[in-house]
Amino acid sequence: MLKKFLVLLALIVPMMANAAEKKKKEEPVVHLTDEQIYDELKKFAMVFEAARENFVEEADEKKMLEAAMNGMLGALDPHSSYLAADEFKEFSEKSHGEFGGLGIQITSDRGAVRVISPIDDTPAEKAGIKAGDYITHIDDEQVFDLTLNQAVKKMKGRPGTKVKLTIVSDNGEPRTITLKRAIIKVKSVKFEEKKLADAADDTDEKIGYIRISDFGATTAKELREAIASLEKAKVIGYVLDVRNNPGGYLTAAIEVSDAFLDDGEIVSTRGKKKTDIDRVFAKPGDLTGGKPIVVLINHGSASASEIVAGALQDNHRALVMGSQSFGKGSVQQQKPLGDGTAIHITIARYYTPSGRSIQNEGITPDVEVLHSKVEVLEKRESMYSEASFKNSLKNDKSKKKDTKKSKSDEEEDVSELTDAEKDARDYQLQRAMDMVRAMSKLNISSSAKANVSGDDADKSDQGEAEKENDDKASEKTPAKPAAKSSSKPAGKAPAKKK
């Protein structure tokens, strides 16, 4: 009971601090003169000297200065930070597809560490850590006194070693889990042909399923290979699954969006000055030939995932299904300082083609389909039947019934399920494939500029039944040379990043 109280207290205190911070942010920005800035820097030097000379133990000057720089950048927003040499090196390795740790994307929230998303097939994902979970302790040490980079560093370590995390989920109950660190190899794109769970065995209606778990340096190349393979299989449409995708490179999000578009704006980034506007447009060549697309998003879809979902949604190229996305609409850039260190700083906001800012709002799906499960609402046998009558005739041919509980009567171990069984239980995926099939039957494609609302979606499903979607986004020059950009004044673009 005491442990639960301490955890809840630890969560409440940062919330109060956050409320005070919000109130402070509403105050006008204070600009200092050069002379005032110089006076403040002199005061900083005096504080540093006084602390170093008077602290009861020997002071670590490097640690003090790094903490000061981290605090300065952290005061700007949750995504800006100072990267020491080892942190900058780890960040670069992580962005290129392989790193050591638990496989989890996190952010700072009210003094705690909040999970944006676990990465597919990693220790964090296998341990059941979910988007939205809070990490309150690492190896029994509270995280509230740690910077985000310090928390990340504590979770990393030699592969095979263990780390203990205390997690608080939506139900408010803390739980402690022990994870084994591993080398995290990120293959960001997985794909396969799928059929609906209730589809006939002899049906030739194959749906191309593409799962993007992360937007890295090789994502666009992997996506093109996936589409080429699925096109050869003659799929009728696509489900693009970016659920629990925390984002990645801005350039990767642009190239992924471009793969499904013939023209139109993909994204615009807008910086501090009114003239700091960069618009990116798609080049001709939809690799799927205009086939119907459903993008699956949820509250773990962030940054680059939201760029893709927003681009395809605003260009009426795809239907977005699932739940409201995370709402990270800012772009970060690493600025090296020349000695192996760097700062990771927010330099711009990004906007969807229609001029929407996703910051703190997220992408609203065209059709909301919450994560659900199908439940059996009637028992295998009813208590009221012919057999329930006292004097009913017996069946002389009947076999003795097995009184053991079937798997439908008790909780199953999901890890023992086949891929097909897991697909059948994925309610959002099944509804997305339903929609792709309906859109294919109705010949809804990019050329039709379909904009299916929730009501229209219901009608499509009914008609079918009657017939038978840096933190770490990095601003780099887009890899596609044919993509056009300009610096025209901001405004709504014609309808056509983590």
Q: What is the pLDDT along the chain (498 residues), one digit of tens a residue?
A: 434 433 443 443 344 344 444 444 567 888 999 999 999 999 999 999 999 999 999 999 999 999 999 999 988 998 899 998 888 887 776 655 566 789 888 887 777 788 988 888 889 988 989 888 999 999 998 888 787 878 888 898 888 899 999 999 877 788 999 999 998 777 789 999 998 877 776 677 899 999 998 898 899 999 999 999 999 999 999 999 999 898 888 999 999 999 999 999 999 999 998 888 999 999 999 999 999 999 999 998 999 999 999 999 999 999 999 999 999 999 888 999 999 999 999 999 999 999 999 999 999 999 999 887 665 545 545 545 566 565 666 666 655 555 444 444 444 555 567 777 788 888 999 999 999 999 998 876 544 444 444 444 444 343 333 333 344 444 333 344 344 443 333 333 333 433
Query: Residue 189: what pLDDT?
Result: 94
Query: Residue 234: what pLDDT?
Result: 93
Query: Residue 153: what pLDDT?
Result: 84
In this structure, are residues 431 and 323 in contact, taking their beta carbons and an 8 Å threshold?
A: no
The one catalytic residue in 303, 323, 325, 460 is 303
Report the DSSP pairing between strands 367-368 and 319-322.
Answer: parallel
Query: Residue 101: what pLDDT?
Result: 86
Is 323 an annotated catalytic residue? no
The one catalytic residue in 328, 472, 496, 498 is 328
Structure tokens at 333: 């850039």
Query: Residue 124: what pLDDT?
Result: 92
Is 39 an annotated catalytic residue? no
Rounded CA separation 306/477 (Å):
19
For every residue of 310-376, DSSP letters joined together read HHHHHTTSSEEEES------EEEEEEE-SSS-EEEEEEEEEE-TTS-B-TTT-PPPSEE--------
Query: Residue 458: what pLDDT?
Result: 42
Query: What is the maximal distance between C-alpha atoms in the chain?
Result: 103
Helices (H) and strands (E) in the chain, counts: 12, 19
* pLDDT tens for each residue of 387-435: 656 566 666 665 555 544 444 444 455 556 777 778 888 899 999 999 9
Rounded CA separation 239/298 (Å):
14
Domains in the chain, CATH or no CATH each: 101-185 (2.30.42.10), 186-374+422-498 (3.90.226.10)
Residue from 191, 300, 307, 178 nearest 245 by CA: 300
What three-state secondary structure class fits 18? Answer: helix
Reported pTM: 0.68
Rounded CA separation 192/373 (Å):
23
Mean pLDDT score of the chain, rounded to an integer? Answer: 79
Rounded CA separation 211/359 (Å):
24
For every residue of 113-157, DSSP letters joined together read EEEEEEPTTSHHHHTT--TT-EEEEETTEESTTS-HHHHHHHH--
The one catalytic residue in 214, 241, 314, 434 is 314
Contacts for 309 with CB less than 8 Å, ≥ 6 apart = 242, 295, 297, 301, 318, 320, 325, 363, 469
Please provide the size of the chain in residues: 498
* pLDDT tens for each residue of 263-286: 999 999 999 988 889 999 999 999
Is 314 an annotated catalytic residue? yes
